[in-house]
Structure 1
Amino acid sequence: MDDVILQTHRLTKTFRGFTAVQGVDLSVRRGSIHALIGPNGAGKTTCFNLLTKFLAPSAGRIEFKGEDITGLRPAQIARLGIIRSFQISAVFPHLTPLENVRLGLQRALGTSMHFWRSETSLRQLDGRARELLDEVGLAELADAETASLPYGRKRALEIATTLAMEPELMLLDEPTQGMGREDVDRVTALIKKVSAGRTVLMVEHNMKVVSTIADRITVLQRGAVLAEGSYAEVSTNPQVMEAYMGTTDTALQAEGH
């Protein structure tokens, strides 16, 4: 299956007798936007933590481009090109957007931990950093203080910093969480734009976002896969509607539009 970039086999995580993720089989196709959804407590973020090795699986296997990566450490996972964002915006507030993106670009120079290097030595990265900021709509704010940016723009900056690390697979954890409608629409369009030529796996609670950009959706409930398919398929699945709404009516479909 050459078109599958990430695959899990019976992925499981147990905490002191509680099974948070149970036998998850997941296949993410290269070049797609794949959404992982489910009610609160379904195991979505735990799955992300397993994929990036912030947690070690209790059982199961993870494969990236056909290679078993289950035993690797988080830094090794990142070096392979699996780059993750987090629910809470993870940028340096007292640096400028340009400086934030430049830190991500340092990985390509092999100086990512050399924070004592003079700023002059890093200016060779400014051109590419500004290109990435332009890609996410932040070119005019490149030299502002990041702390002063609206929340939605900080999330856009986080995506630019993620792109700076040249991911083959971007893992976006709740990218629109806490945003107003205008920011949600902007970040949704941004994810669609930057996904061109890349693969995105995202945890997302906003069904409008999922219905707009996801090519394929995996629904988790109590740590296990409940359903998988296109938005049209999962949104009309009675089990999925009941898991979300406690009903089998069309509420889930309405939420997505």
Structure 2
Amino acid sequence: MTQVILETKRLTKEFRGFTAVNEVNLQIQRGHIHALIGPNGAGKTTCFNLLTKFLNPTSGQILFNGRDITADKPAQIARQGIIRSFQISAVFPHMTVLENVRIGLQRALGSSFHFWKSNASLNRLNDRAMDLLAQVDLTEFAQTMTVDLPYGRKRALEIATTLAMEPEMMLLDEPTQGMGHEDVHRVTELIKKVSAGRTILMVEHNMKVVSGICDRISVLQRGAILAEGSYAEVAENPQVMEAYMGSTSAELEGAHA
């Protein structure tokens, strides 16, 4: 099996004459944590939406495990093992933490939202659900209503719900956005923990998160790849420093120090 799990070839997206993503060639290595970073307006979100099939490209190709998935729908790529977290795994606030993970397991079994099933039938999923909660340090919150969870714990629950789908590749959209320092550290450690045996692609603004856990980084600017490599390599790239400017370049230097 090839080491490249996800690849794009000249991936391009235009909106009424504006090129948001411009002939992007990406190669995501199997088993890596790979980050997409870049200044505001660089095209990260558009690129991410193309990869997760929430947008269709104007031109170019997307390959997963060597198969062309350019024309596939989000549900089709989910069945192949590409799961977008924090999007399709949105939690149900007025269900317990355990019930949310159980819904994720039902999705994986193809029996989504069979709320009319007997409790005995659904309870058979409890052991696996509790195992997933243990992986993200939420065992003690199993019977807590999700609406009552702190923000960082909700993100951990979203990871557990995503894991219930048994992804081969997880795509994380700003996993630490809006978090305090303690929650950022907790979720970063969780991402590192759940990356064992799978590939993760993430869009992330927090450079300390990126520097701490990512194997490879692609820097976008004006819709094109500006630089690619390890964190140390991109942090020392003069073009990257110039693209970020001001406070964000200081973040790059600070995280690298």
Partner of 1:110: 110
TM-aligned CA deviation for residue 45 of structure 1: 1.3
Unaligned runs of 5+ in 2: none
User: What is the CA–CA distance in structure 2 between the aligned matches of 1:181 and 1:146, rounded to whole Å?
Assistant: 22
CA contact (8 A) 1:43 1:221 kept: yes
SS of the residue 1:98 aligns to: helix
Deviations 1:217-252 (A, max 9, x none): 000011110000000000000110111125997652
Q: Describe the shift of the 1:88–1:245 C-alpha distance in structure 2 as closer, same or farther (beyond 3 A).
A: farther
CA contact (8 A) 2:207 2:251 kept: no
User: What is the CA–CA distance in structure 2 between the aligned matches of 1:208 and 1:201, rounded to whole Å?
Assistant: 16
CA contact (8 A) 1:239 1:248 kept: no
User: What is the CA–CA distance in structure 2 between the aligned matches of 1:133 and 1:249, rounded to whole Å?
Assistant: 37
TM-aligned CA deviation for residue 40 of structure 1: 1.1
CA contact (8 A) 1:87 1:175 kept: no
What letter matches 1:157 in structure 2?
L
Partner of 2:169: 169
Unaligned runs of 5+ in 1: none
TM-aligned CA deviation for residue 44 of structure 1: 1.0
Q: Does 1:2 align with 2:2?
A: yes
Q: Describe the shift of the 1:249–1:163 C-alpha distance in structure 2 as closer, same or farther (beyond 3 A).
A: closer
Normalising by structure 1, report the TM-score: 0.95
After the TM superposition, which residues 36-185 of structure 1 pair with which residues of structure 2 at under 5 Å, given as runs?
36-86=36-86, 90-185=90-185
Q: Describe the shift of the 1:164–1:251 C-alpha distance in structure 2 as closer, same or farther (beyond 3 A).
A: closer
SS of the residue 1:41 aligns to: coil
User: What is the CA–CA distance in structure 2 between the aligned matches of 1:55 and 1:88, rounded to whole Å?
Assistant: 15
Q: Describe the shift of the 1:251–1:181 C-alpha distance in structure 2 as closer, same or farther (beyond 3 A).
A: closer
Name the Cα RMSD after superposition. Answer: 1.9
User: What is the CA–CA distance in structure 2 between the aligned matches of 1:152 and 1:25, rounded to whole Å?
Assistant: 33
User: What is the CA–CA distance in structure 2 between the aligned matches of 1:151 and 1:124, rounded to whole Å?
Assistant: 29
SS of the residue 1:192 aligns to: helix
TM-aligned CA deviation for residue 87 of structure 1: 7.2
What letter matches 1:110 in structure 2?
G
Q: Describe the shift of the 1:188–1:88 C-alpha distance in structure 2 as closer, same or farther (beyond 3 A).
A: farther
CA contact (8 A) 1:4 1:30 kept: yes
SS of the residue 2:253 aligns to: helix
User: What is the CA–CA distance in structure 2 between the aligned matches of 1:108 and 1:155, rounded to whole Å?
Assistant: 20
Q: Describe the shift of the 1:67–1:88 C-alpha distance in structure 2 as closer, same or farther (beyond 3 A).
A: closer
Q: Does 1:221 align with 2:253?
A: no
Q: Describe the shift of the 1:247–1:143 C-alpha distance in structure 2 as closer, same or farther (beyond 3 A).
A: closer
CA contact (8 A) 1:209 1:256 kept: no
Q: Describe the shift of the 1:208–1:128 C-alpha distance in structure 2 as closer, same or farther (beyond 3 A).
A: same
TM-aligned CA deviation for residue 86 of structure 1: 3.1
TM-aligned CA deviation for residue 91 of structure 1: 1.0
Deviations 1:160-182 (A, max 9, x none): 00000000000000000000001
Q: Describe the shift of the 1:153–1:93 C-alpha distance in structure 2 as closer, same or farther (beyond 3 A).
A: same
User: What is the CA–CA distance in structure 2 between the aligned matches of 1:44 and 1:72, rounded to whole Å?
Assistant: 20
SS of the residue 2:7 aligns to: strand
Q: Once the two structures are aligned, what percentage of the paired residues are identical?
A: 74
SS of the residue 2:61 aligns to: strand
User: What is the CA–CA distance in structure 1 between the aligned matches of 2:108 and 2:67, rounded to whole Å?
Assistant: 23
CA contact (8 A) 1:236 1:250 kept: no
User: What is the CA–CA distance in structure 2 between the aligned matches of 1:86 and 1:128, rounded to whole Å?
Assistant: 21
User: What is the CA–CA distance in structure 1 between the aligned matches of 2:109 and 2:87, rounded to whole Å?
Assistant: 28
Q: Describe the shift of the 1:128–1:62 C-alpha distance in structure 2 as closer, same or farther (beyond 3 A).
A: same
User: What is the CA–CA distance in structure 1 between the aligned matches of 2:193 and 2:61, rounded to whole Å?
Assistant: 31
TM-aligned CA deviation for residue 5 of structure 1: 0.3
CA contact (8 A) 2:217 2:229 kept: yes
